[in-house]
Amino acid sequence: MIENDVGGGYGARGEFYPEDFLIPSRRGTSIVRSNGSRIAAKT
Amino acid sequence: MKNTFIGIPMERREDLRFLRGRGEYVDDVTVPGLLYAVILRSSVAHGRLVSIDASAALKRPGVHAVITAADMPGGPPIVPMRLQPLPEFKPFEQPVIAYDKVRYVGEPIAVVLAASVAVGEDALDAIEVRIDDLPAVADWTVAAQNKSVLFEKPGTNRSLVFESRKGDADAAFARAPYVRRERLRTGRHYGLTMEPRGVMATWDEAKGKLTIYGAAKYRSSTGAFFRRRSACRSNRSR
C-alpha cells in the first residue's frame, strides 16, 4: 500500500469505498487505475 | 500558558513541495501498460437489477474487459466498515458492485477496463442495463416505515437503536427559563478533495505481489486488510 498525497477530505476518506476493492481485485490484469470524478465523489 | 496554535500561521513540512507543484497524487502515477477503469454507476436510487449486457461494449476498440458481479464467483465481496464495525451493521454492508439490487444513485454496476479514460467512458454508453424500479428510500422518515427495505434479509432499514444518557434532561428542561423545540436536519457529507477518489493497483504475477496506490488515509490498516483478503505475503507499506 503506497499512499500518495491526499489533498483533503480526511474525515470522509476514513471509510472504504467500493473502488478501493474493485480496482485491486483484477489480478489477471497487470496495472489498473481509476480516478473518480467530482460527481462520483458525491455518491 | 502561551497559545502556539490557534490563530498562528503554521508552516507545514510539505508546503514547499506542494507550492513547487511537486505533489504526487494517484493521477500522477503512471507506468507502461496502464489500463483505466471507468465505472458504470446506477442512476436509480433503488431497483432490482434484472440484466446487464456488455457485449457491445466489449467489441469496441481499446476495451479490454467489462467486469460485473457475474465475474465474481460466490458473489462480490462487501465493503467492510472500518470506523464502527458493529455486528448490527453486518447485514447492511454494501457489496463492492451491485449484484441483485441497486441501493443508491452512483452504486457501481460494471467496470470497464480500457486503454484510455475516453474509450472507457464511451463504452459505458454501450452497456445495456435493465433495472426494475423499487420505491426509493430517501430519508430516515421513509426508511423508518420499512415499506421499502434496502436489504431484504434483515427485513428492516433500522440496523440498531443507540441510546445515550447523561444527567437528568427532564429536570434541566423543567428548570430552564426558556425551552425551544426544533427539528434540525443535516445533509450527508463527503470529501471534496483536491483529487477525487482514486486508486491504482499493479499485480506482479511472478512475485505474487499486489501494490496499491491511493489516498487511503490509514495506510497500515488498509494494507493489512488487503493482505488478509488476498493472502499476499508481502507486508510492506509506505
pLDDT of residue B172: 96
Angstroms from A16 CA to nearest CA on chain B: 7
Q: For residue range B116-133, list pLDDT tens digits in order.
A: 999 999 999 999 999 999
Closest partner CB to B108 (pick from A18, A32, A38): A18
pLDDT of residue A26: 56
Count H helices and E strands in chain A, helices first. Answer: 2, 2
The answer on pLDDT for B218 being more than 50 is yes
> Predicted ipTM?
0.80
The answer on pLDDT for B139 being more than 80 is yes
B109 and B94 in contact (C-beta within 8 Å)?
Answer: no
Q: For residue range A1-43, list pLDDT tens digits in order.
A: 888 887 777 677 777 888 888 887 655 556 777 777 767 766 6
Interface contact flag, A27 B216, Cβ < 8 Å: no
Closest partner CB to A9 (pick from B64, B113, B192): B192
Nearest to B68 by CA among B29, B102, B45: B102
What are the E-state strand segments in B6-158? 35-41, 47-53, 63-67, 101-102, 108-114, 128-133
B78-87, B147-156, B178-187: range with lowest mean pLDDT: B78-87
Which of B16, B27, B86, B96 best tests the A interface by mutation, with the highest count of A CBs <10 A?
Answer: B96
The pTM for the full model equals 0.84
- Phi, psi values for residue B198, rounded to 5°: -150, 155
